[in-house]
């Protein structure tokens, strides 16, 4: 089975973003970028399925400017076999990404598409679901366990009340939750080898998708600042403050 994994280049998760002074957007100049943590988990899961003999090829796709080839190389170093970069302007919207991925899926015919459940920049949590809808394929979102059995896959999902298990017929789309696995680190020899792995570049036009958005970003503002609080020295003082000053406990 072929597995397709979509990865996104985003700001490193440890970086605290700042809003630009003119409040048009967040300031991404000179900040550290990395692979979206949920995408790393998706790559890891695909590699594990290959190690189990379930997958025979892993194709990794990223959409954006040339810079995202860095994240494709990272995925190749982690064990993916080849990469595809789809050249577009920076950060197209989820629907455009889903349409581009749908074209790649039609070409590649993977048995499984694995994506992260959300990107930590836009926090949308949409692409996997939209892709599944466009392909009319079943989906398992927020996966914390994936068991492939023949032409079916059993997925445990993290839902609000606990866990839910569903079974899908392949081909299917899965989005990863944090607890699915612990991604490995790429070793130096694997990073060197990854440089030789094939990486195709396509454009949105070649795939016949018009990247546009029905959504316009009007502005960005920093979140409301919290007033600096005080340190109390004892439990008694804390209880007194909560009862008499904040009045949140009676």
168, 135 Cβ separation under 8 angstroms: no
Site map (CB under 8 A) of another protein, residues 12-51, x = contact: -xx-xx-x------x-------------------------
Confirm or reject binding of residue 178 to another protein (CB under 8 A).
yes
The least distance separating another protein from the CB of residue 104, rounded to whole angstroms, comes to: 16
Confirm or reject binding of residue 161 to another protein (CB under 8 A).
yes
Applying CB under 8 A, among 163, 187, 193, 200 the residue interacting with another protein is 163
Candidates 54-62, 68-76, 161-169, 190-198: pick the segment binding another protein (CB under 8 A). Answer: 161-169
The least distance separating another protein from the CB of residue 148, rounded to whole angstroms, comes to: 14
Confirm or reject binding of residue 6 to another protein (CB under 8 A).
no
Confirm or reject binding of residue 3 to another protein (CB under 8 A).
no
100, 86 Cβ separation under 8 angstroms: yes
Query: φ, ψ for residue 162 (rounded to 5)?
Result: 155, -125
Applying CB under 8 A, among 5, 142, 146, 180 the residue interacting with another protein is 142
The least distance separating another protein from the CB of residue 146, rounded to whole angstroms, comes to: 13
The Cβ-side half-sphere exposure at 13, using a 13 Å CA radius, reads 11
Number of residues near another protein (by CB under 8 A): 82
The least distance separating another protein from the CB of residue 40, rounded to whole angstroms, comes to: 14
Query: φ, ψ for residue 130 (rounded to 5)?
Result: -65, -40
Measured from the Cβ of residue 11, the count of other Cβ atoms closer than 10 Å reads 18
Distance of CA 137 to the CA centre of its chain: 19
CB of 188 or CB of 248, closer to another protein: 248
Any idea of the CA torsion for 166, 95, 13, 187, to the nearest 10 degrees? 70
Binding to another protein (CB under 8 A) within 73-102 occurs at: 93-95, 98
CA distance 155 to 227: 44
The Cβ-side half-sphere exposure at 59, using a 13 Å CA radius, reads 19
SS3 203: strand
Task: For CA atoms 15, 17, 18, 20, give the dihedral sign.
Answer: positive
CB of 2 or CB of 241, closer to another protein: 241
Binding to another protein (CB under 8 A) within 218-247 occurs at: 218-223, 226-236, 238-239, 241-242, 246
Confirm or reject binding of residue 160 to another protein (CB under 8 A).
yes
């Amino acid at each position: 089975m072929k597995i397709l994994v979509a990865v996104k280049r985003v700001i490193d998760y440890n970086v605290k973003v700042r809003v630009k002074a003119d409040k048009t957007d967040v300031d991404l100049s000179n900040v550290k970028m990395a692979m979206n943590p949920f995408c790393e988990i998706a790559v890891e899961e695909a590699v594990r399925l290959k190690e189990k003999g379930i997958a025979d090829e892993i194709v990794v796709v990223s959409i954006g400017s040339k810079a995202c080839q860095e994240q494709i190389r990272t995925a190749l170093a982690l064990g993916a076999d080849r990469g595809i970069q789809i050249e577009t302007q920076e950060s197209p919207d989820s629907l455009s990404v889903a349409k581009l991925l749908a074209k790649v899926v039609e070409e590649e015919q993977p048995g499984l598409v694995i994506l992260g459940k959300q990107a930590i920049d836009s926090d949308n949590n949409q692409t996997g679901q939209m892709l599944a809808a466009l392909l009319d394929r079943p989906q398992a979102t927020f996966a914390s366990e994936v068991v492939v059995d023949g032409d079916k896959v059993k997925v445990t999902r993290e839902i609000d009340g606990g866990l839910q298990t569903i079974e899908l017929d392949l081909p299917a789309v899965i989005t990863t939750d944090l607890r699915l696995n612990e991604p490995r680190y790429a070793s130096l020899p694997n990073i060197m080898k990854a440089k030789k792995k094939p990486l195709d570049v396509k454009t949105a036009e070649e795939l016949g998708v018009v990247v546009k958005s029905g959504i316009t970003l009007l502005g960005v503002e920093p979140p409301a600042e919290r007033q600096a609080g005080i340190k109390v020295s004892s439990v008694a003082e804390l209880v007194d403050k909560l009862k008499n000053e904040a009045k949140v406990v009676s």
